[in-house]
Amino acid sequence: MNRQTANPANEGTHTLRRIIDALDDLEFGAVEITVHQGRIVQIERREKLRFDKERRPSVATSESTTRD
């Protein structure tokens, strides 16, 4: 099926589904939608993976909690 005979309602539903899929399970990141002449032409998903830093007790903290 080419663009001229495509059902605009089906095309909109398909595009909306693709946007929802791009957002699905995204914890940190961005979804960018590019529009040209009023039509969505591109969807980009950028995902950031974040890792907790290993926590180490600082010297100042351990000394300040020590009682004489």
At 40, give phi and psi (nearest 5°). -70, 125
Q: What are the 10-residue block averages of pLDDT along the chain, 68 residues in total?
A: 60 93 95 96 94 70 53
Quote the pLDDT of residue 53.
79
Task: Give residue 10's identity as a one-letter amino acid code.
Answer: N
